[in-house]
Structure 1
């Protein structure tokens, strides 16, 4: 069996490849990693099994600096977004094999429409999955509080959209005050999904401090929004315990986050307007309710005032008859009392006269006025002739003096 040197083998492989791949061909692959040096770009291309997601093919590719300048002119706004880790690409390549450096794919062109189409297809698959699980619009079930004042913001501190949001909130015509806490995250590029996810986790741990979450960024290309089509990020927003307001700067296409979030707005300032208008509606409702309560109280007071007047009138009418009757009875009693008092005093005076007459008859002085005398002997009144004897000395008291006598004879009156 013939033995080949390594160089001979590689030279043979080079000739076979050169013979079979005389022209450039189009291939599809996923960019696993991108690096650059001296204006040249080096791509690690892979292909994954659709079922197991395992890598089944891998190759190194290069864009030389001259070709990169050509591609920049062809895709001035989107080339950097196309050349991102995880992007599905369709590339026009020349197959090159070098005896020392091995196989390398030299990129001559790329198909941006394919990448957009693959991203859209992937997005549709994610949407179908989330729909089956009932997660589309899931976060809408988390109600905004009546007043949104404490806001957790996920954005880049240098993003124009973030500054626009802050300025718009601060310049609201109602004078509302807001407290915005920034959780900084990349808004484009390979770190976006991871940093936004980490920011959501930090906010979830402090959920009691906030009324709502806002994710905002300025405008950009469709591929700039690729991270916001992440299934994992969509799930996290769908199940988030706070309402998540999305304003990531696009006019037509909606990302997965737009579909699962509480509210989807085109721009950061539109998100600010939603919050301001929400608070203004609550203030209007509160004022309307206060006015209605005031009106109801006024109407109730008027009604009760009328009722009180009617009750007072009825009470006066109801009470007046018994009062008049009582007044008549009182006057009757007063007249009766006067009559009874006069009769009583008249009878009483008669009794007094009789008593006075009786007393007078018992009064020695009164009897003395009539010519009677009060007789004493030995300092004691004499009630009978048997109480004196001849020779006793007696004293007779008259109205104007006394007489002392000596008893010479005592005669007893026969009954």
Structure 2
């Protein structure tokens, strides 16, 4: 049998390389998601390029960006997009299809169109706005009512951020020393990590929302770099539906992001936001300053008016009092004279009545005294007769009861003595010594006296107690 024609693996790989090089000799523009950039220390990059459908990867290829191309692409990307290349971006690549015996088919990336990416970012911004509008929450946060003096502020920022430092310094540095309570919730404020970080802090604040009047998101410096996160739908929705007013000052002056557009109030920088809060206090404070200037004059005027009124009222009151006193004095004298006349007339009439009553009382009292004396003597005689009769009857009853008691006591004593003798005899019969004298014995084991419930077993030791002695036995 003849040996069939065969090729080495290297020959096959070389054939594939030549075929691909001839078939795909020119370059192509390809759209794909850069899943991972995979930059190396030497400056080269080997990005993973994917295409997704319904969030599932349907195609994946290896890419290569050589150091020289990568530096050029990165610089141009910064100038146009204002952001560095990062994982997860939808990009338009200028590529050349290559084949390597060890790394298989790949794409050598020659250039990346930053304008396509800029359009994609703008498209994401527009899609987020349209979606929030469809859901009816685009202006939800702006329709909230902020406290008259928003001084309890939950600040989402970084502790070492210059923007945060400027914000706090301005609030506390006002000449009138307006009092603000600021509590820092640290978060990442740029790039993809900012989305989850800010949302997480908003959830923390919502749990204790009754402690705050508003939320302030401030980010100092950084220009336009890393601002794409503020066009994210999830973050924008979290701000739009937040139950407290959300104020933003994220440090840039062009192309407002979605989060800034839907926030209750937006400031270009943290300092602008601080000035806005101070202006609320100043606006309410200005009328007070004006009133403080006018208050002394108003007080003097009021005191003068009150003093004049008081003087007039005092004079009028004095006149009325004098008139009333004169009238009451005349009325009093008239009443006194009338009272004296009535009293004299009444006293004369009362004296006559007293004399008549005195004579009647003397006559009646003599008659009543004699009548009562006679009644008392009759009652004393009746009481003596009844007392003697009752005493005789009581003596007879006592004597009869005494005789009956003597007879009953003697009989009861005899009966009780007989009962005691019978009980004493019964107790002697029940005495254990008496029982043992009759030939009985007490048999016990470790549990106590043998009975139906406590039966002995073979080999058990028993104790036998008789009248004369105590024996020990063993059951066989």
Q: Give the CA deviation at 1:325.
A: 4.4
Measure the CA separation in 2 of the matches of 1:221 and 1:45.
29
- Offset, 1:317: 5.6
TM-score, normalised via structure 2 length:
0.61
Q: What do the CA deviations read for 1:50-84 (whole angstroms, capped 9, x no partner)? A: xx233332222221112122234434556883411
**Paired residue for 2:197, among 163, 176, 195?**
195
How far apart are the structure 2 equivalents of 1:116 and 1:221?
16
1:152 aligned onto 2:154:
yes
2:45 is the alignment partner of 1:45: no
The equivalent of 1:83 in structure 2 is 85
Whole-angstrom distance in 2 between the partners of 1:215 and 1:263: 11
The 1:215–1:304 alpha-carbon spacing in structure 2 relative to 1, beyond 3 Å, is same
Closer/same/farther in 2, CA of residues 145 and 17 from structure 1, 3 Å limit: same
Q: What is the CA–CA distance in structure 2 between the aligned matches of 1:221 and 1:333, rounded to whole Å?
A: 102
**Contact 1:31/1:83 (<8 A) preserved:** no
1:247: Cα distance to partner?
0.8
Distance in 1 (CA, whole Å) between partners of 2:9 and 2:206 is: 59
Note the residue ranges of structure 1 that are not aligned, 5 or more in a row: 345-415
User: Given that residues 146 and 282 in structure 1 are in contact (C-alpha distance below 8 angstroms), is that contact kept between their aligned partners in structure 2?
Assistant: no
Matched pairs, number? 337
Once the two structures are superposed, what CA deviation does each residue of 1:345-372 show, in whole Å capped at 9, x if it has no partner? xxxxxxxxxxxxxxxxxxxxxxxxxxxx
Shift of the 245–58 alpha-carbon distance from structure 1 to 2, 3 Å rule, reads: same
Please list the CA deviations of residues 255-312 of structure 1 after superposition, one character each: whole Å capped at 9, or x if unmatched: 1111221111101111111122223333345666888999998887777666666655
Aligned to 2:257: 255
Q: Where does residue 188 of structure 2 map in the other structure? A: 186
> Which residue pairs with 2:20 in the alignment?
17
CA contact (8 A) 2:223 2:251 kept: no
In the aligned structure 2, how far is the partner of 1:315 from the partner of 1:119? 86
1:59 corresponds to: 61
Residue aligned with 1:242, SS? coil
* 8 A Cα contact 1:156 1:162, kept in partner: yes
Aligned residue for 2:285? Answer: 283
Give the CA deviation at 1:141. Answer: 3.0
Superposed, 1:236-255 pairs within 5 Å as 236-255=238-257
- Verify the 8 A CA contact 1:116 1:223 in the aligned structure 2: no
8 Å contact kept, 1:62–1:107: yes
CA distance in 1, matches of 2:298, 2:11: 102
CA offset at residue 150 of structure 1? Answer: 3.3
Per the alignment, residue 269 of structure 2 pairs with 267
The verdict on how the C-alpha distance between 1:302 and 1:159 changes in structure 2, with shifts beyond 3 A counting, is same
Shift of 1:9: 5.5
Q: Distance in 2 between matches of 1:181 and 1:329?
A: 80
Of 316-325 and 23-32, deviating more is: 316-325
> Alpha carbon RMSD of aligned pairs, Å?
3.8
Of 81-90 and 325-334, deviating more is 325-334
Equivalent position of 2:34 in the other structure? 31
Which residue is equivalent to 1:377?
Answer: none
Partner of 2:440 in structure 1?
Answer: none
Q: CA deviation at 1:138?
A: 1.6
Deviates more, 1:303-312 or 1:114-123: 303-312
Q: Check the 8 A contact 1:151/1:210 in 2, yes or no.
A: yes
Within-5 A mapping of 1:243-392: 243-284=245-286, 321-326=323-328
Matches within 5 A, 1:69-108: 69-75=71-77, 77=79, 81-108=83-110
Q: 1:229-262: CA deviations, max 9, x gaps?
A: 1111111111222221111112121111112211
Distance 1:288 1:119, change over 3 A: same
Q: For 1:136 and 1:104, locate their aligned partners in 2 and report how far apart those are by CA, in whole Å.
A: 44
Match of 2:128 in 1: 126
- For residues 40 and 130 of structure 1, what CA distance do their matches in structure 2 show? 41
Cα 1:76/1:234, change in 2 over 3 Å = closer
Q: 1:64 to 1:254 in 2, by over 3 A?
A: same
Question: 2:32 aligns to what SS in structure 1?
Answer: strand
Alpha-carbon offset, residue 11 of structure 1: 4.1
Per-residue deviation at 1:8? Answer: 5.6
CA distance 1:333–1:303, shift in 2 (3 Å)? same
Structure 1 residues 326, 181: CA separation in 2 closer, same or farther (over 3 Å shift)? closer
